[in-house]
């Protein structure tokens, strides 16, 4: 009982701390001076370097989803609707959530580990002494880069997943790309694309801020680095699902 109470206390404390950390991001992020070079470097590392991994997973999931859906669709005699169905599934849910989870695994852990090792080797303290704002230089740039890069990655991932789906359809029956494309877009509306696009900003921000928080307050030496990398992935993944749950309900209001 005692242990559990401490756990709940720790959880609530953690939640509050992350919230405060996020507020600090907004307070400091919109004030000069801006670390533009570091931000662009982080964009390159976080966005561009993640692209091959995200592209591969997206391609595979598009192809696999199509092939898995096919038997059921054939049973109902609506295999012509596969492009429309896969299109909606990828654009609304699978593209964003899958990319965000891959992103959390790759970027969340790397941010947590990088900042954690900087923390335990007291580089952050050294930065403060040298007159550089470590929060701005490390946290704001990374979180902002994650927040802006994930939507870009999701759009590219959606496109690649749809291409994978197109190939998946073509395994069984020839279908021109133009017709596939038309079927996908005929079945899509703004209400499918825009909420899915907006929620990816929150996913990215969640990954960036949780990774930064976990690294920034890393403790217990080298062991702590591994812990912060680990917990940043776990917490950001859970947060992604919670945000998704909220996003779908808000999107539902506009339906």
Partner 1 sequence: MKKKSINAIKLGLFVLAGLSLLIFALYLLGKNKTFFGNRFELKAHFRDVNGLLVGNNVRFSGIDVGSVQSIRIVNDTVIEVTLNLNREIKSFIRNNAEASIGTDGLIGNRVVNIEPKGGSTPFVNGGEMLPTREEVRTEQMLQTLSKTNQTVAKISEEVLATVQMVRNSSELSSLLNDKTLSYNLRASLQNLHTTTKNASVLMENAVSTFKLASEGNGTIATLLTDTTLALEVRQLVTQINTLERSADRLVKDLNGVIESVEKDINQGEGSVNALMRDSVMADRLRATIENAERGTAAFAEDMEALKSNFLFRRYFKKLEKKAAKEKEKELSN
Residues that bind partner 1 (CB under 8 A): 40-41, 43-44, 47-48, 51, 151-153, 155-156, 158-159, 185-186, 188-190, 193, 197
Q: What is the DSSP string of the chain?
A: -HHHHHHHHHHHHHHHHHHHHHHHHHHHHTSSPP-HHHHHHHHHHHTGGGHHHHHHHHHHHHHHHHHHHHHHHHHTT-GGGHHHHHHHHIIIIIHHHHHHHHHIIIIIHHHHHHHHHHHHTTHHHHHHHTT--HIIIIIIHHHHHHHHHHHHHHHHHHHHHHHHHHHHHHHHS---HHHHHHHHHHS--HHHHHHHHHHHHHHHHHHHHHHHHHHHT--SHHHHHHHHHHHHHHHHHHHHHHHHHHHHHHHHHH-
Q: Which is nearer to partner 1, 18 or 102 (CB)?
A: 102
Q: What angle do CA 142, 100, 138 make, to 5 degrees?
A: 10
Provide the minimum distance between the beta carbon of 218 and partner 1 in the complex, in angstroms, as a whole number.
28
**Identity of the residue, 108 or 151, whose beta carbon is nearer to partner 1 in the bound complex:** 151
- Name the residue nearer to partner 1 (CB basis): 30 or 190: 190
Tokens of 208: 């960036």
CA distance linking residue 133 with residue 33, whole number of Å: 10
Q: What's the min distance (Å) between Cβ of 188 and partner 1?
A: 6
46 vs 118 by CB, closer to partner 1 = 46
Residue 16 Cβ vs partner 1, minimum distance, rounded to whole Å = 34
Nearer to partner 1, 91 or 169 (CB): 91
Instruction: Measure the CA angle with vertex 144, ends 139 and 148; round to 5°.
Output: 155
What is the nearest approach in angstroms of partner 1 to the Cβ of residue 43? 6
Q: How far is the CB of 123 from partner 1 (least distance, A)?
A: 22
Nearer to partner 1, 24 or 49 (CB): 49
Could you give the CA distance from residue 90 to residue 98 in angstroms, rounded to a whole number?
Answer: 9
Closest distance to partner 1 from the beta carbon of 5 (Å)? 46
Closer CB to partner 1, 144 or 153, in the complex: 153
Least CB distance to partner 1 at residue 199 (A)? 14
């Amino acid at each position: 009982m005692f242990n559990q109470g401490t756990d709940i206390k720790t959880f609530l404390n953690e939640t509050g701390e992350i919230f405060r950390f996020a507020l600090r991001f907004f307070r400091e992020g919109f004030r000069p001076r801006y670390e533009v070079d570091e931000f662009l470097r982080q964009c390159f590392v976080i966005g561009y370097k993640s692209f091959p991994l995200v592209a591969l997973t997206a391609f595979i999931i598009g192809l696999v989803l199509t092939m898995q859906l096919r038997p059921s669709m054939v049973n109902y005699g609506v295999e012509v609707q596969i492009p429309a169905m896969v299109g909606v599934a990828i654009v609304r849910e699978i593209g964003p959530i899958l990319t965000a989870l891959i992103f959390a695994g790759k970027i969340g852990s790397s941010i947590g580990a990088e900042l954690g090792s900087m923390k335990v080797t007291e580089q952050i303290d050294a930065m403060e002494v040298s007159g550089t704002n470590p929060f701005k230089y490390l946290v704001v740039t990374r979180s902002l880069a994650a927040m802006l890069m994930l939507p870009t990655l999701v759009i590219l991932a959606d496109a690649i997943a749809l291409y994978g789906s197109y190939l998946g359809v073509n395994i069984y029956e020839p279908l021109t790309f133009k017709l596939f494309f038309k079927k996908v877009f005929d079945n899509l509306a703004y209400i499918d694309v825009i909420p899915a696009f907006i929620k990816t900003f929150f996913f990215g921000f969640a990954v960036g801020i949780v990774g930064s928080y976990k690294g920034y307050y890393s403790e217990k030496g080298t062991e702590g680095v591994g812990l912060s990398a680990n917990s940043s992935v776990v917490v950001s993944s859970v947060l992604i699902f919670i945000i998704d749950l909220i996003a779908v309900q808000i999107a539902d209001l506009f339906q």
